[in-house]
Amino acid sequence: MEDKRQIVDNLVLELRRGTLVLSVLSQLVAPQYGYSLVESLETKGIHIDPGTLYPLLRRLEKQELLQSEWETSGPKPRKYYILSVLGKEVYQELCNEWLELNKSIMAIL
Amino acid sequence: MAMRDRSGEMVDRYVYAVTRRLPVAQQADVDRELRSLIEDMLSAREDQGPDRTGEVEAVLIELGNPWELASNYRGKKRYLIGPDHYDLYEMIVKIVVGATGLGIIIALMVGYVFNPPETVFSTIGNFIGTVVSALFQAFAWVTIIFAIAERCNERNEANKQVAWKVSDLPEVPAHTKRFSKAESIAGIICLVIFFMILNAAPSLFTMGIYTGEVWIAPVFNPEVFKQVLVLFNITIALAICVEFVKLYFGQYSPKLAVVMISIKTVTFIISLYIIGASGIWNPALPAALETYFHLGADFVASFARFWNFFPTLLIILTILGYVVETITTVHRSFWGKVVR
């Protein structure tokens, strides 16, 4: 039943992929750099590969949902991201959508 | 002494493998970001001796394939020929490469029959070389044209992100309004073969009749033929274009009718010139027949009359063909029935 396992894994991956943006936006009320975000999400049970997260952060910044700044005063230079005003609004709406979706899905499962 | 620490070089190589695939404007920033990330990932690992090679390798493997990472950074996928047109591209490559191969082989064979080569080996080499380079050319040209179309299309797509309307969908055409795919493909193959033979073995068309000692009495005037060859090529190229247009759009439409009739009109005018005004027909043909074949004077006289009339006959046929085709195109484009 190797096939079934693989099909399930792929579908789960797709489900998770849809929730990534929401997860990331939720954590950026305070500034964070990429790897701290990976770790803080990990401790909350959400796994995201750095190779996926870093390009995603950049894309969200390009869409003007995030703002970034290089912090060079510490021992390692780090790029910190934080929600922009637009990002906060979008996050709020996404949250509502998620709750609606969740309600609907729970009702049919 | 401890083994040389190669971790720094590994990081350099990895970062370079990612950033060199990115737009120049992003490279420096991504470089910095990746290095800082790799450092963070390393610090998160527990045991770090003086030699970090093993840890660095593990971290880089965790980060994944640099090609994939780079394509994540780039976001959108890039194509030479995108999925939208790939099927059409594949079909046309098959047709054009197949027809070119067939055409060049026939042309070379015909050339060898009429002009036997002296050495076998060099001829085989030449033969293979010519065929291969013709196939590459055919492939390259089709690919270049599609690649350019793809670029133009990309720009268009970016400009128009408008909603489509159901009413914009074209009506389902009646069978009389559809172009036959098979007919177009057969047409293209014949045209390409004709083009190849015409250009690779022009002697075939100017050689006339072999008496056992000399070539005499060509049907075409060789000098004029050389001059109008380019016109022949233009008409063939235009005809091929028409077939491709038909393949692409699949059905008659008023707009297409205008394009097709314009192209056909150009072809028509060129044909009239070639047949009627270029002086391509060899006027010495009847006399040569008389001299070399000792045919009766009566026969030669009537042949000469026919030969004088021949271009006119061809012109009449060309005009008839043009008129019939234009009427058919207009009729089918503007008045074809629509399937309900």
The answer to whether the Cβ–Cβ distance between B69 and A55 falls below 8 Å is yes
| CB-based contact B256:B264 (threshold 8 Å) | no
pLDDT in tens, B283-340: 777 777 777 666 677 777 888 888 888 888 989 999 999 999 899 888 887 775 554 4
Q: Is the ipTM of this complex over 0.85?
A: no
- Find chain B residues with C-beta within 8 A of A76's C-beta: 36, 39-40
Chain B contacts in chain A segment 2-61 (CB below 8 A): 33-36, 39, 49-52, 54-56, 58-59
The answer to whether the Cβ–Cβ distance between B36 and A51 falls below 8 Å is no
Domains of chain A, each with CATH number or no CATH? 2-108 (1.10.10.10)
In whole angstroms, what is the distance from residue A34 CA to residue A47 CA?
A: 13
How much is the pLDDT for A100? Answer: 95
pLDDT in tens, B63-110: 888 888 888 888 766 778 888 788 888 888 888 888 888 888 877 777
| CB-based contact A52:A44 (threshold 8 Å) | no
Compute the nearest-CA separation of B67 from chain A (Å): 11
The answer to whether the Cβ–Cβ distance between B63 and A39 falls below 8 Å is no
- Find chain A residues with C-beta within 8 A of B44's C-beta: 35, 39
In whole angstroms, what is the distance from residue B207 CA to residue B26 CA?
A: 65
The answer to whether the Cβ–Cβ distance between A79 and B44 falls below 8 Å is no
The ranges assigned to domains in chain B are 7-74, 83-154+170-335
Q: Which residues pair with A78 in a beta bridge?
A: A71
Picking from B38, B62, B21, the residue whose alpha carbon sits closest to that of residue A77 is: B38
The answer to whether the Cβ–Cβ distance between A33 and B75 falls below 8 Å is no
Q: Which of B26, B41, B68 has its CB closest to that of A50?
A: B41
pLDDT in tens, B126-157: 888 888 998 999 899 889 988 888 887 766 66
Alpha helices in B66-119 (DSSP H): 66-74, 83-114
The answer to whether the Cβ–Cβ distance between A51 and B64 falls below 8 Å is yes
The answer to whether the Cβ–Cβ distance between A78 and B73 falls below 8 Å is no
In whole angstroms, what is the distance from residue B126 CA to residue B139 CA?
A: 20
SS3 state at A81: strand
- Given pLDDT bands bounded at 50, 70 and 90, which one contains residue A106? very high
Compute the nearest-CA separation of A7 from chain B (Å): 22
